[in-house]
Structure 1
Amino acid sequence: MTTHEMGRGVARAREGAIEQSPVRANWAEQAVADAEAAEQQAHPHPGTAHRSREQQVLDRIAKARARKPKIKEERITLSHGAGGKATQTLIEALFLDAFRNPVLEQLEDGASLRLPGTDAAGPVAGRLAFTTDSYVVSPLFFPGGDIGDLAVNGTVNDLAMTGARPLHLSAGFILEEGFPVADLRRIVASMAAAAEAAGVQIVTGDTKVVERGKADGCYVNTAGIGVLEREFTLSAGAARPGDRVLVSGPIGDHGITVMLARGELDITADIGSDTAPLHGITAGLLDAAGDGVRCLRDATRGGVATICNEVATASQVAVVLDEKAVPVRPVVNGASELLGIDPLYVACEGRLVAVVAPERADDALAALAGHPLGEGAAIIGTVGEDPPGLVLLKTSFGGTRIVDLLVGDPLPRIC
């Protein structure tokens, strides 16, 4: 592949990403522009009120985020399923509004439930975690995994992020007429192997077949139940100033692997998906750091950047990341540069983000690094007080920039 051909491939990829969804919301940039225009009118002499201009920008950002979510589109787009700002708006303006209840309002990876008849002040034996997820990845098979083990590991990981020990899964299949039985057999075998490796059982399920051309081969849904054996609760709203932000290993492997596996860019790289069950490494982390662990999230759609934004918003804190500390494999970094995307937004399927109290951060890091899935674990940031609700990145060039939620995802259908 020549440099010229690669350039054309990258241009096509960027055009495709732009056509599918806007890469970034423009409200933050617009806030800056509005504030600067107002500053010019109020202070014709430059530099007389720098701090007031900065405060104006932050005030405008806070005002924009405080607005009640509203769906402006008349039809669903790919952005609504990408895990970014469009997804968040769809959830809060439509689903949460219709189904509102105290459990759903927490918007965690899984619901923490207490069985009827158990004492809320008693032991943890009556607490369960419940979650569900659907998988529409394209292609169905990719280096390092396929839609089958992705469906098992993804739901196991959502349970693990609540602090639960996964027990049982369901499996639902939506199959397209004409889908090869050999491919289905391969997917099912992969699911069985992943379930055995994770120590869970697939105990119920469902199958539907739709007309040719209506399902892109195969979609899979899995739901999971686990038991909560610890007395403390993990939540994105529990972060406090001074806490540390950790990641369990290099980020972006899965998203880049799937994107390259589509073959549209004519780029090859020695990389595979990081799909893996995280309940083992999570248990070790919780054993080591105990209730010093505030929050756990697996960095899937939207990547680490989206997770940090969710924490900042839910806890009304600032999350400050250090670009130099974020582990990214050179091949992922290189591919991301060619595609014009930031690795912080690229999905993982075997990496977790943890927010941990400062006095337990070293214990937490040691626990992560001591697990086979924790190679490359690192402390990548801290939690501060101001500006609340925002994620900032200290860049390798010495500057600082806002890391906002994307509207959509430049890499759709990666899970």
Structure 2
Amino acid sequence: MALQQQQSQQQEHIERITLAHGSGGIAMRELVEKEIVAAFSNLHLAPLEDQARLDLNVLTQLGDRLAMTTDSFVVDPLEFPGGDIGSLAVNGTVNDLAMSGAKPLYLTCGLIIEEGLPLDTLRRILASMKKAADEAGIAIVSGDTKVVHKGAADKLFINTAGVGVIPQGTDFRVSQAQPGDVVIVNGWVGDHGATVMASRGDLGLEARVQSDCRSLYKEVCTLMEANEVHCLRDATRGGIATVLNEFAESSGVRIILDQSAIPVRDEVRGVCELLGLDPLYLANEGKFLAIVPDNHAEQAVEALRKLPGAERSAIIGRVAPLTDIRPRAGVSMRTSFGSERMIDMLTGDQLPRIC
């Protein structure tokens, strides 16, 4: 009984977000200035204006076009092996910019916080966002904070917008895959989806795997230096199967995968077997798929393998033309048994709330 009372008293003394933190008054100002602005401190954010004011000269020196993206993050649980909703928000937005070849520069951050969230949890996530931003070379320059009643959200949602600059002459599009091209993936497939599922205590799963959440900008630069790039996209929700189908349909080609060449960890396969999932459809947060000409593909893979996190980069398939026998664009896979099966897009999501 004494132990229960002590635990109850400790619980009562945990600092938590209250509705006052979203009221526009003193509590909100303290939250914004002492926690959020202090965590993200930089010259663009310091004036605390309603907008960030960015120097056009800096942008035009880096390229001839802006890339802009927005995303929202609602992962459950908030923290998981290899990352959390904060690092996920930063790296996910950085990667969306990088998939155009853009150098990521600026990021906004909108927080929707549920009443009752422990302040220590918020502090850890803000610190994680700052660390991820520093590693990616991007500045968090503006934002907004809202607090909603308990039950109106699930702990914490994050919305971001990112701005980057595309170098002159760089132009990747999903419609540019050509027969004879090859498909490159920059490492293990399905780590993030398997990690998030295993982190949900109600499933009772144990897996020694962690999320691949990280910035991909350096790897994109390495790929661009080593080979011409026709198509490039990060394989998040829907996994590599969904991205490849988008390439095939937009380009009017067939993409044929080699099952034996696709890198999947044994731990990820184990989670998939237990839950009846296919690793090709699992979410990733540090993997991209590139369609490149065949002539320098091996050189590109070797260059990627020298980078931390991309050691298992591989050529996993080829682009083929449509034929009288196969007149429709799509993706198929040659299995280890010598057969070929179609890899269609999902009608729904295998895993809810994984990013």
Q: Same fold (TM over 0.5)?
A: yes
* Match among 198, 216, 228 for residue 166 of structure 2: 228
Aligned to 1:112: none
Q: Report what 1:217 is aligned to.
A: 155
Task: Name 1:300's counterpart in structure 2.
Answer: 236
* 1:206 equivalenced with 2:152 (yes/no): no
Q: Check if 1:374 corresponds to 2:305.
A: no
Distance in 2 between residues matched to 1:124 and 1:192, nearest whole Å: 24
Structure 1 residue 156 corresponds to structure 2 residue 94: yes
Does residue 393 of structure 1 match 2:333?
yes
Q: What's the CA shift for 1:253?
A: 0.5
- Counterpart amino acid of residue 267 in structure 2: V
Do the aligned residues in 2 keep the contact of 1:124 with 1:231 (CA within 8 Å)? no
**TM-score, with structure 1 as normaliser:** 0.69
Q: Which has the higher helix share?
A: 1
CA contact (8 A) 1:356 1:364 kept: no
Q: Relative to structure 1, is the Cα distance of residues 395 and 261 closer, same or farther in structure 2, using a 3 angstrom cutoff?
A: same
Partner residue in 1 for 2:344: 404
Instruction: State the Cα distance separating 1:123 from its structure 2 match.
Output: 9.7
Task: State the alpha-carbon separation in 2 of the partners of residues 211 and 250 from structure 1.
Answer: 40
In the TM superposition, 1:9-408 aligns within 5 A as 125-289=63-227, 292-386=228-322, 387=326, 388-408=328-348
Structure 1 Cα separation of the partners of residues 62 and 113 of structure 2: 40
Q: Within 1, Cα distance between the matches of 2:244 and 2:332?
A: 10
User: Which residue is 1:33 aligned to?
Assistant: none
User: For 2:316 and 2:173, how far apart are their aligned partners in 1?
Assistant: 19
Letter of the structure 2 residue corresponding to residue 140 of structure 1: L
Task: State the alpha-carbon separation in 2 of the partners of residues 123 and 141 from structure 1.
Answer: 38
* Aligned length in residues: 294
Specify the SS of the correspondent of 2:237: coil
- Residue identity in the other structure for 1:151: A
Secondary structure at the counterpart of residue 348 of structure 2: coil
- 8 Å Cα contact 1:169/1:224 also seen in 2: yes
Separation in 2, partners of 1:280, 1:235: 19
Deviations 1:181-234 (A, max 9, x none): 111111111101110111110000011111110110100011111111141300
Change (3 A) 1:370 1:230: farther
The code of the aligned residue for 2:240 comes to: V
Q: Could you tell me how far apart the structure 1 residues matched to 2:221 and 2:350 are?
A: 33
Match of 1:69 in 2: none
Distance 2:134 2:88 in 1: 14
Separation of aligned partners in 2, 1:293 and 1:368:
14
- The alignment's C-alpha RMSD in Å is 1.6
2:23 aligns to what?
A: none
Cα distance, 1:264 vs. partner? 2.0
Q: Shift in Å at residue 361 of structure 1?
A: 1.0
Unpaired stretches in structure 1, ≥5 consecutive residues: 1-114
With normalisation by structure 2, the TM-score equals: 0.80
Q: Tell me, which stretches of 5 or more residues in structure 2 are unaligned?
A: 1-55
Distance in 2 (alpha carbons) for counterparts of 1:125 and 1:338: 48
CA–CA distance in structure 1, aligned partners of residues 82 and 63 of structure 2 = 37
Amino acid at match of 1:287: E
Q: Aligned partners of 1:130 and 1:363: how far apart in 2? A: 31
* Deviation, structure 1 residue 360: 2.1
By how many angstroms is 1:265 displaced? Answer: 2.0
- Identity, % of aligned positions: 53
